[in-house]
Amino acid sequence: MVVIVSLCFKEKKGNEPKKPMNVIFILTDDHRFDFMGFTGKVPWLKTPAMDQLAKQGVWVRNATVTTALCSPSRASILTGQYAHTHKVVDNFSPLPENLNFFPEYLQKVGYSTAFFGKWHMGHAGDDPQKGFNHWESFRGQGVYYNPLLNINGKRVQYKDSTYITDLLTEHATAWMRQQSKDQPFFMYVSHKGVHDEFMPAPRHRSKYHGQPINYPSTINITASATSKLHGDVRTSPTAAMVKNDTNYNVKDIPQWVWAQRNSWHGVDFMYDGRVQFDDFYYRYCETLLAIDESIASIRKTVEELGIAENTMIIYMGDNGFLMGEHGLIDKRNMYEESQKVPLLVYAPGMSHNGKPIDQIVQGIDIAPTVLDVAGVPMPSNMQGQS
């Protein structure tokens, strides 16, 4: 992310930062690259904090992950390595003991570090991990309500009314207020949202219900005559119509794509039939609203603490998400909707006027970039670049 790093240090007077920069990394789960208000993909979706972050910083339009699955992607972000190198190749692989996470290198140069939220590596573990002075996490995917947190090795149960996105935000901002201004910090906030099964905060429930949905043009491309579409049994386009569609190479669609349509990864039997497409779509967008509010709260805390001129904020998704494209939902494949992620970056002195960057950036580039910002040389075993 050399363009971004160069922008970060382009201060008004051209002076070098007086002290190491604080870095806040906010990771969200299954947030696809174009479901943000300013993109216009979903006209009625409002994300003012994301919009502001993009306007004041940069939106990296071609940000991708190297493996579109939770655990491998998260391991790549922390190690700067491809999955075949770090060996976390699925959601159940144990963490190799010899892995180093980039916050360890930050600690060595005096950073205070903290982790809040979904770890989801090494299967269901929630124990404190190396590289973090402060630790708050939960097992596996966690839950949206009534969460159980492991706080520095002690498990704390919260009440049913406690919403996980709000709780993590509250704890993260409280930790920020406890930090000394004489010591730089790195804070990693890893939200459960917007992972299935999407559960919005009470204040956001049914906010978007009934809004018009722009179904993707390829949602019916793998349909049969009796496919269940959007919750109703309808007659799909005939085979002749599909074959005559010159905009889509139907004959070369892999067999697994056709088969997945009727699995829990497809629109005909999504999540084993527990939810219909429209409700799924609305709840996804409604769950995203608390994530946007989390960004706003964290940025407000940065301002109140008087550290805005020395704090970098990165917002990213761990993988993309299909919303009916090719008759599929979820991720786990190489389609663009699965691989591309939102990536917004803000740093003081950045003078890019909110213009998007078309540079290709991958999850493996996060670790080298943060280390570069902190003035730490990139370890030779990292495969990404700053």
**Number of domains making up the chain:** 1
Q: Using DSSP, state whether 117 is helix, strand or coil.
A: strand
The answer as to whether 71 is a domain residue is yes
pLDDT, mean of residues 58-79: 97
The answer as to whether 249 is a domain residue is no
Alpha-carbon distance of 89 to 51, in angstroms, equals 33
The answer as to whether 122 is a domain residue is yes
The answer as to whether 261 is a domain residue is no
Q: Taking a C-beta distance cutoff of 8 angstroms, is the pair 293, 173 a contact?
A: no
Sign for the CA dihedral angle at 9, 180, 75, 335 comes to negative
Peptide bond preceding 194: is omega within 30 degrees of 0, i.e. cis?
yes
- Residue 240: per-residue pLDDT: 42
Tens-place pLDDT, residues 16-33: 556 899 999 999 999 999
- Residue 109: per-residue pLDDT: 98
Tokens of 298: 């964290």
Tokens of 286: 């409604």
The answer as to whether 72 is a domain residue is yes
Tens-place pLDDT, residues 182-213: 999 999 999 999 999 899 999 999 999 999 99
Tens-place pLDDT, residues 272-294: 888 888 999 999 999 999 999 99
Tens-place pLDDT, residues 115-134: 999 999 977 789 999 999 99
The answer as to whether 276 is a domain residue is no
The answer as to whether 263 is a domain residue is no
Q: Using DSSP, state whether 96 is helix, strand or coil.
A: coil
Kindly report the average pLDDT of the chain as a whole number.
90
Neighbours of 249 (CB within 10 A): 8
The answer as to whether 265 is a domain residue is no
- Residue 13: per-residue pLDDT: 46
pLDDT, mean of residues 323-339: 94
Angle separating helix axes 164-178 and 277-304, nearest 10 degrees: 10
Q: Which domain does 314 fall in, by range? A: 2-11+21-209+287-373
CATH value at residue 204: 3.40.720.10
